[in-house]
């Protein structure tokens, strides 16, 4: 009786460069998730401490990676490769470079501070943190993965917990917002997946490995021009590219605070990062071909976000529209096809992530006390809660691009790079920045100054322990505002070789 | 010892015979009968596993044993075992019919096992009819006779219509080729791929299969039959019966199709219509089983993509998808069976508050529904991914794009199910759902299977590829 042999099921090919730090981050998330699932529902305090512990560990790992990365060598480091599905050429391939490292650090910071921001949550605590861990697992995975299959897997893993996180713990029109957001973002994946498989089939290399697929000459110019818009739109929906941004303010306003933080702070960066890592890496000629359209959409997004933000009465909607505007700056940077543009875009991703996280964290504190996000019902808050107001105002100033805070550098570098290539669009977008400064100032003035409504006269200011997450975020904002080279040095290790390798 | 090759079939046949005798000799005793069924179906799984290596031909070449058929027999036996696990309280079925219920269930499984090995047009027809007739009877066994009868008659009438179409197709094909063995057809078909009689005959035969698979335009029975049949029977139709039909479609198409453009075009059109129609119709459903019925139609559309991507990769992806469907559909039905109020169908609204009543079941529902929707890291996503890869290798970009758009559409109603379970507050507080310990273990292992295989599908892919190769 002949027998069929199924070979290779147990023999895996593994390639490691030292301790697998990147997998350690992912494993920490999974372990945290499992521990939370195993804890009984009633032990809310333990669940929070466990969450803080595991998220703190990932932050430490991210910090270690950020400083252990060898800037003089550049390129991909901390490589981990496991042949996952040999017959289809799928690899479990993790590595970091100068583009992913800032985002990894950003995710670590926002993850940890997000857990602390939700410290006072009392409703369905266990499920919340379990889903939150799942969401962040996807984000971490996407930033470290170098294999298209896994990028797609992590992309979706980071999206679907959003539905429940918003629909269960959210506020304004939460069910509508959750459904809209999920369908919009997964509609993006309906473009990404065919695009990925298309490139896989056309390359003939039988691999999903980005480093192999990005070699010049793998794809013809026509194939790149065809595939680029699929990725650009697919990931761009998540990055809030106009006119596919409408899910974003609605989703931001409805989500619970820490989810808004992760969402605006990190999730939108996944979109921009996906455009960079997949669309631009694999289809550089498509990138050059479509860059004019990208710049147009980005500039339009900047203007549109600023003008729409001017009309909002809900604090979270204001931040939501400012995110659309700020992510437009990232898009503008990416569209310049230059080293400075890429540097500025990645820097802006990081800075905007920290800034919005701080904004949402501050709004979260205010909302928990006053139970309103309507600007008209607030006012004079700086008198009763000066510290909480300070955090919001600091973040708002960062959003306006005040020198000394991190966002300034990102915006400056992007606009300098963009002005060389698209002078008209850049000037118009710069005018929009003035508008955005105006609306931020208007919000600050109406919320924190002026007459204080009587019902808010007895509010407590933020306590030291509750202020920790905001302190961390504000500190990071200042640190990278004063020493931008810390980040630019890392980003340049990736952007300069990448641009030099481009066919001209 | 050639009869040893026939092990799984013999085992299941003896079990069915046992229930026939039991129904004549002994008074029904639900607990005892259920225990018998559990033990016998578990034995069936064991015997099928032991016979996985079997290879050869039986009954003058009309019956073929290879890795493909034997693994599918394991899947069918496991499907039967899982369904029997759900039969602990068969409240939907009158006590005096319980033994006959098991009898028909085992006979139906036997017929499907015969089907996946069939190598001769008549064997195919006989096996298909045997399984269909058992199912017609099973559907009508519902205590609420109006519902059961309506479902059964709809199923029966469309079923015999499809069978007659299939017989007509076989006649045409025989007229064109003078061949009834699949291996003979494989020899003569390449020259005849452009002869109308052969192609039309082929398509009509597929019509018979597509009726069982619930592919447009043979899907009319699905929603009503799913709704009217007892929950366990619906689960069986949605899982084991689909797996068997996918297997026979693969066997026939791998024998006859040599990349015929006609066939690919027809199948692509049917696939697109099935997906779109199934998903759009599912959006408006209130009854959980009807919703699953329409989602079945959509899933048949996805499977067809793998089937029409002729070649090892396409067949392997369809096999993978079939096995994935077995697990994820069954898990949803497990929740449906346990949560269903007595004597009625489960409405989607009645899932409200499930996350409080039973967190485990709610988790099972969420994972299986996301798996059906094709969200990673679940086995359903892996299945879709490999199907799409196979199609893209054939250059079917537009088909993949349409399928992905359909995935997004389907997500809407799947999310509504999850929303009902996790978000909606029930009108009155319902008691917690009681799950026995074995059921808890079963649910837990199903969840783990879906996630683990979804994240690390390699062994299952290698198995599917080996099966597809043994088919060629």
Q: Is the peptide bond before A482 cis (omega within 30 degrees of 0)?
A: no
Mean pLDDT across B429-448: 88
Contact A8 B376 (CB under 8 A): no
Contact A197 B466 (CB under 8 A): no
Per-residue pLDDT tens over the stretch A425-453: 888 888 888 888 888 888 888 888 877 77
| pLDDT computed for residue B1 by the predictor | 55
The CA distance from B459 to the nearest CA of chain A, in Å, is 5
Q: Which residue has the higher pLDDT, B127 or B90?
A: B127
Task: Check if B401 contacts A (Cβ < 8 Å).
Answer: yes
User: Looking at the partner chain, which of A1, A3, A183 has a beta carbon nearest the beta carbon of B408?
Assistant: A183
Band of pLDDT at residue B3, cut at 50, 70 and 90: low
Number of H helices, E strands in chain B: 20, 2
Return the percent helix, strand and coil in chain B, to nearest 5: 80, 5, 20
Q: Which among B243, B261, B286 is positioned nearest to B108, based on CA atoms?
A: B243
Task: Flag whether A2 is in a domain.
Answer: no
Query: In this complex, how many residue pairs, one in chain A and one in chain B, have their CB atoms less than 8 Å apart?
Result: 104
Query: Total structural domains in chain A?
Result: 1
Task: Check if B59 contacts A (Cβ < 8 Å).
Answer: no
Mean pLDDT across B414-442: 86
- CA distances to A177, A296, A306, A387, A396 from A400, rounded to whole Å, are 27, 22, 11, 20, 6
Give A186's contacts in chain B (Cβ within 8 Å): 375, 407-408, 411
Tokens of B199: 């192609």
| pLDDT computed for residue A57 by the predictor | 93
| pLDDT computed for residue A177 by the predictor | 86
Residue-range definition of the domain harbouring residue A453: 14-500
Residue-range definition of the domain harbouring residue B348: 2-471
Q: Is the pLDDT of residue A399 over 70?
A: yes
The overall average pLDDT reported for chain B is 88
Per-residue pLDDT tens over the stretch B174-215: 888 888 888 888 888 777 777 888 888 888 999 999 998 999
Give B404's contacts in chain A (Cβ within 8 Å): 189-191, 193-194
Among A252-266, A455-469, B116-130, the least confident range: A455-469
Band of pLDDT at residue A2, cut at 50, 70 and 90: very low
Give B385's contacts in chain A (Cβ within 8 Å): 149, 193, 197
Per-residue pLDDT tens over the stretch B295-342: 999 999 999 999 988 888 899 999 999 999 999 999 999 999 988 877
Tokens of A450: 């002026």
- pTM to 2 decimals? 0.91
Task: Flag whether A386 is in a domain.
Answer: yes
Task: Check if B432 contacts A (Cβ < 8 Å).
Answer: no
Task: Check if B398 contacts A (Cβ < 8 Å).
Answer: no
Q: Is the pLDDT of residue A1 over 70?
A: no
Task: Flag whether A1 is in a domain.
Answer: no
Mean pLDDT across B396-411: 91
Give B407's contacts in chain A (Cβ within 8 Å): 186, 190
What percentage of chain B reaches a pLDDT higher than 70? 99
Task: Check if B386 contacts A (Cβ < 8 Å).
Answer: yes
Whether A254 contacts A171, CB under 8 Å:
yes
Contact B404 A190 (CB under 8 A): yes
Task: Check if B357 contacts A (Cβ < 8 Å).
Answer: no
Query: Total structural domains in chain B?
Result: 1
Give A152's contacts in chain B (Cβ within 8 Å): 376
Contact A4 B458 (CB under 8 A): no
Whether B271 contacts B400, CB under 8 Å:
no
| pLDDT computed for residue A9 by the predictor | 43
Task: Flag whether A3 is in a domain.
Answer: no
Measured between alpha carbons, how far is B443 from B449 in angstroms, rounded to an integer? 10
Among A252-261, A346-355, B232-241, B308-317, the least confident range: A252-261
Whether B456 contacts A84, CB under 8 Å:
yes
What is the value of ipTM here, to two decimals? 0.89
| pLDDT computed for residue B358 by the predictor | 87
A368's CB contacts (< 8 A; 6+ apart) are A120, A257
Q: Is the pLDDT of residue A111 over 80?
A: yes
Q: Which among A257, A266, A245 is positioned nearest to A111, based on CA atoms?
A: A266
| pLDDT computed for residue B259 by the predictor | 66
**Distance from CA of residue B280 to its chain's centroid?**
21
| pLDDT computed for residue A6 by the predictor | 40
Interfacial residues of A (vs B; Cβ cutoff 8 Å): 1-4, 6-9, 84-88, 127, 149, 152-153, 156-157, 160, 163-164, 167-168, 175, 179, 182-183, 186-187, 189-191, 193-194, 197-198, 200-201
Among A330-334, A383-387, A460-464, the least confident range: A460-464
Per-residue pLDDT tens over the stretch A318-335: 888 888 888 888 999 999
């Amino acid at each position: 009786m002949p027998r069929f042999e199924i070979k290779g099921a147990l023999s895996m090919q593994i390639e490691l460069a030292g301790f697998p730090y990147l997998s350690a981050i992912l494993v920490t998330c999974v372990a945290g998730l499992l521990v939370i699932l195993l804890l009984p529902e009633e032990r809310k305090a333990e669940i929070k401490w466990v969450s803080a512990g595991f998220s703190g560990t990932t932050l430490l790992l991210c910090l270690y990676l950020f400083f252990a990365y060898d800037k003089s060598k550049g390129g991909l480091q901390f490589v981990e490769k496991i042949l996952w599905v040999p017959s289809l050429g799928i690899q479990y391939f993790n590595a970091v470079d100068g583009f992913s490292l800032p985002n990894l650090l950003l995710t670590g910071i926002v993850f940890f501070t997000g857990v602390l921001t939700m410290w006072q949550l009392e409703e369905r605590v266990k499920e919340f943190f379990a889903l939150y861990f799942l969401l962040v697992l996807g984000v971490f995975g996407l930033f470290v993965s170098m294999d298209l299959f896994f990028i797609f897997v992590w992309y979706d893993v980071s999206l679907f917990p959003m539905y429940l996180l918003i629909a269960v713990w959210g506020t304004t029109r939460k069910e509508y917002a959750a459904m809209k957001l999920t369908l919009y973002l997964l509609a993006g994946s309906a473009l990404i997946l065919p695009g990925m498989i298309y490139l896989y089939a056309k390359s003939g290399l039988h691999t999903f490995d980005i480093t192999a697929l990005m070699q010049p000459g793998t794809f013809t110019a026509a194939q790149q021009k065809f595939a680029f818009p699929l990725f650009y739109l697919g990931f761009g929906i998540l990055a809030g590219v106009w006119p596919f941004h409408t899910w974003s303010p609605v989703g931001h306003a409805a989500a619970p605070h820490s989810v808004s933080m992760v969402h605006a702070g990190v999730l939108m960066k996944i979109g921009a990062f996906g455009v960079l890592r997949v669309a631009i890496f694999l289809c550089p000629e498509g990138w050059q071909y479509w860059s004019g359209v990208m710049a147009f959409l980005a500039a339009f997004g900047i203007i549109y976000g600023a003008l729409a933000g001017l009309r909002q009465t809900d604090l979270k909607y204001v931040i939501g529209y400012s995110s659309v505007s700020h992510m437009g700056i990232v898009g503008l940077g990416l569209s310049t096809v230059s080293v400075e543009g890429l540097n500025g875009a990645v820097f802006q991703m990081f800075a905007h992530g920290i800034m919005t996280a701080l904004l949402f964290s501050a709004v979260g504190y205010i909302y928990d006390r006053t139970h309103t996000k309507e600007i008209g019902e607030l006012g004079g808050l700086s008198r009763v809660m000066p510290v909480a107001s300070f955090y919001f105002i600091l973040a708002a100033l960062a959003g306006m691009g005040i020198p000394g805070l991190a966002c300034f550098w990102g915006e400056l570098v992007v606009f300098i790079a963009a002005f060389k290539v698209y002078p008209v669009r850049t000037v118009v977008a710069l005018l929009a920045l003035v508008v955005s400064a105006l609306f931020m100032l208007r919000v600050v003035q109406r919320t924190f100054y002026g007459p204080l409504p009587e019902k808010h006269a007895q509010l407590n200011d933020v306590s030291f322990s509750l202020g920790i997450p905001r302190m961390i975020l504000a500190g990071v904002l200042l640190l990278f505002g004063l020493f931008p080279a810390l980040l630019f040095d890392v980003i340049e290790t990736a952007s300069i070789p990448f641009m030099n390798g481009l066919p001209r | 010892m050639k009869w040893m090759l026939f092990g799984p079939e013999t085992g299941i046949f003896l079990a069915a015979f046992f229930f026939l005798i039991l129904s004549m000799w002994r008074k029904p005793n639900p607990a005892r009968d259920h225990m018998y069924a559990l033990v016998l179906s578990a034995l069936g799984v064991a015997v099928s596993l032991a016979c996985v290596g079997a290879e050869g031909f039986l009954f003058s070449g009309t019956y073929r044993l290879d890795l493909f058929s034997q693994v599918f027999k394991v899947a069918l036996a496991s499907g039967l075992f899982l369904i029997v696990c759900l039969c602990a309280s068969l409240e939907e079925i009158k006590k005096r019919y319980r033994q006959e219920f098991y009898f028909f269930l085992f006979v139906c499984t036997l017929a499907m096992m015969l089907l996946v090995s069939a190598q001769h047009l008549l064997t195919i027809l006989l096996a298909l009819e045997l399984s269909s007739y058992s199912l017609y009877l099973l559907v009508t066994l519902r205590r609420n006779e109006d519902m059961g009868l309506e479902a059964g008659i709809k199923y029966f009438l469309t079923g015999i219509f499809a069978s007659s179409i299939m017989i007509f197709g076989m006649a045409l094909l025989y007229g064109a080729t003078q061949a009834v063995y699949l291996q003979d057809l494989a020899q003569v078909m390449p020259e005849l791929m452009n002869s109308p009689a052969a192609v039309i005959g082929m398509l009509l035969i597929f019509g018979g299969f597509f009726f069982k698979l619930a592919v447009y335009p043979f899907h009319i029975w699905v929603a009503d039959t799913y709704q009217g049949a007892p929950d366990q029977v619906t689960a069986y139709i949605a899982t084991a019966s689909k797996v068997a039909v996918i297997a026979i479609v693969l066997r026939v198409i791998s024998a006859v199709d040599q990349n015929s453009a006609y066939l690919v075009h027809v199948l692509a059109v049917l696939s697109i219509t099935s997906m779109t129609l199934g998903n759009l119709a599912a959006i408006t459903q209130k009854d959980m089983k009807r919703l699953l019925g329409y989602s079945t139609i959509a899933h048949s559309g996805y499977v067809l993509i793998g089937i029409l991507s002729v070649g090892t990769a396409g067949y392997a992806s369809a096999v993978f998808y079939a096995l994935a469907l077995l697990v994820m559909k069954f898990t949803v039905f497990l929740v449906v069976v346990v949560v269903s109020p007595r004597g009625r169908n489960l409405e989607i609204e009645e899932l409200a508050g499930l996350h409080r009543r039973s967190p485990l079941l709610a988790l099972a529902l969420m994972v299986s529904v996301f798996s059906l929707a094709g969200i990673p890291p679940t086995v359903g996503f892996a299945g879709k991914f490999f199907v799409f890869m196979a199609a893209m290798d054939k250059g079917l970009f537009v088909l993949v794009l349409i399928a992905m758009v359909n995935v997004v559409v389907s997500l809407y109603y799947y999310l509504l199910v999850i929303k009902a379970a996790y978000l909606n507050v029930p009108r009155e507080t319902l008691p917690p759902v009681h799950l026995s310990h074995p059921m808890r273990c079963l649910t837990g292992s199903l969840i783990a299977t879906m996630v683990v295989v979804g994240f690390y599908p390699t062994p299952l892919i290698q198995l599917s590829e080996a099966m597809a190769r043994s088919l060629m």
